[in-house]
Structure 1
């Protein structure tokens, strides 16, 4: 069973909306090496895992990383949504009538034509989509699950390395604080997952020498990344094991394969950061509940409570 804690795994910085950055981030969400793939790949590998009781730490490691990837999908999707929210005013012209379509001759969604992925407005109402940066739908054919533990771990390490490489490139594409806060976090967590799969492979006889981390970009020169690395976030792995039965700590321990002088540790889950609901977007015809519907819902709820509290029930 899975439990959802209503917290974001990382804090999203506040900045002006930026639809171009949102579209670049779509690659990190729904691309071939994005968070939707890592989530599905590791969860399917853990679901389909075969072995005896001595193999349980490997299954638990896959399960823990896969569960974390669910939160990464939530994080990057929420970031895309915030980068798009109110994006007709993303240059900071706060007196523009963005919530009054047609007011003073305004065309609130004109930015959709040349600054971003038009489907963010036509289909997604200024929200994330399960697609890559070119608009191609995410595909289940990306998921790799061979049934061979060593091969799957090698493939997972390649997946994390490629995802980290792409996120380093996306970081260089934008200086938007909202985008960079999430990109930097995912760069560091991708390294933690590189360490996870590398450590598992070490236990199976692989010697990494000086190969890791991949890519050797010195990502610590990105200030948001350095802040997280200084906290040691690249060397901790979460189990998300509510009953504390995970044995992933039997693998994720000892000197980091990244050769950065840190020791690998495990924890149940991070502290998290508050979540909020996005505001209405009238120009997208995406309001919340209108007053009449809210009144009907309230009246229905009160009636159900009266029935439940009546004698004989």
Structure 2
């Protein structure tokens, strides 16, 4: 089972919209080496895992796969915020929809020459399950050989390639919204590299000084250095409510990145940050609830809302 906490795993810094940066981030979401790929690959590997003696390896893969679900949410939300209207459009909801906004800017003219026009035509200024070229995400990306060593090798390659691409995306934009998410994912990809490398070391593979891939000077990326100073590259979460994960048997000892840190897996999940819902974009012709429907839903919610247990188990009975 998976449980959802209505918090983002990392804060998204506010900045101006940037549709070009949003499209670059689509590669990190729906590309061959993006977050949708890592999420699906690790979850399928863990679901198909065989061999009770290998439980610590299954738990490591499953824990990282569960974290990747939150990365999909984080990067998708970031893309949506980067598409949240034109910086020059300051129209009001009372303006005629066929009239340009204040300053003479047409509401959605950015869609014609920046980023992916499908973000506006199809997705109402939101993320799509595609890469930066608009190609749909494919289940054929998922690698699940059934051989533990092969899967771990492939997973390490996947994390290293994803980290390489995110380092490139970081240098494509100085947008604070984009960089806050990119930097977090660069650091967490390194943590996952460390986890898979440590698992391979336990199976006789010596990585020596290969990691991290790519080798970057964190001081060049201030947002990354801020996180590595906190040791986030050497931490892995269990996402296990029942304290049954054995991933900590693998994710321990000196980091394979040779950065002087020790690997730790003693936390269930990060605290996260509040998750908020964006305002409607009326120029997208995607209205939400009118006043009458909103009032009806609110009245129904007050009648039907049930108290739900804060831990897993049956829903508490209502009076």
TM class, shorter-chain normalised? over 0.9
DSSP 3-state at the match of 1:173: coil
Corresponding residue of 2:315: none
TM-aligned CA deviation for residue 103 of structure 1: 2.7
CA distance in 2, matches of 1:139, 1:209: 34
Corresponding residue of 2:153: 154
DSSP 3-state at the match of 1:237: strand
**1:204–1:121 CA distance, 2 compared to 1 (3 A):** same
CA distance in 1, matches of 2:92, 2:190: 40
Corresponding residue of 1:246: 245
CA distance in 1, matches of 2:92, 2:23: 21
Corresponding residue of 1:180: 179
Corresponding residue of 1:102: 98
**1:264–1:292 CA distance, 2 compared to 1 (3 A):** same
| Residues 7-22 of structure 1: pairs in structure 2 closer than 5 A | 7-22=7-22
Corresponding residue of 1:79: 78
8 Å Cα contact 1:9/1:271 also seen in 2 = yes
**Greater Cα offset, 217-226 or 40-49:** 217-226
**Cα distance per residue 1:188-245 (max 9 Å; x no partner):** 0000000000000000000111111101122442000000000000000011011111
CA distance in 1, matches of 2:231, 2:245: 22
**1:5–1:299 CA distance, 2 compared to 1 (3 A):** closer
* TM-score, normalised via structure 2 length: 0.90
TM-aligned CA deviation for residue 265 of structure 1: 0.1
**1:304–1:169 CA distance, 2 compared to 1 (3 A):** closer
DSSP 3-state at the match of 2:171: helix
**Cα distance per residue 1:114-142 (max 9 Å; x no partner):** 01100000011000000000000000000
**Greater Cα offset, 103-112 or 56-65:** 103-112
Corresponding residue of 1:287: 287
TM-aligned CA deviation for residue 107 of structure 1: 2.4
**Greater Cα offset, 211-220 or 148-157:** 211-220
8 Å Cα contact 1:30/1:36 also seen in 2 = yes
Corresponding residue of 1:297: 297
TM-aligned CA deviation for residue 298 of structure 1: 4.0
CA distance in 1, matches of 2:41, 2:114: 32
**1:73–1:98 CA distance, 2 compared to 1 (3 A):** farther
Q: Higher helix share goes to which structure?
A: 1
The answer as to 2:204 corresponding to 1:205 is yes
CA distance in 2, matches of 1:106, 1:236: 47
DSSP 3-state at the match of 1:103: coil
8 Å Cα contact 1:97/1:106 also seen in 2 = no
Report the number of matched residues: 300
**1:301–1:81 CA distance, 2 compared to 1 (3 A):** closer
CA distance in 1, matches of 2:5, 2:144: 28
Corresponding residue of 1:66: 65
Listed as ranges, the gaps of 5+ residues in structure 1 are 306-312
TM-aligned CA deviation for residue 302 of structure 1: 6.6
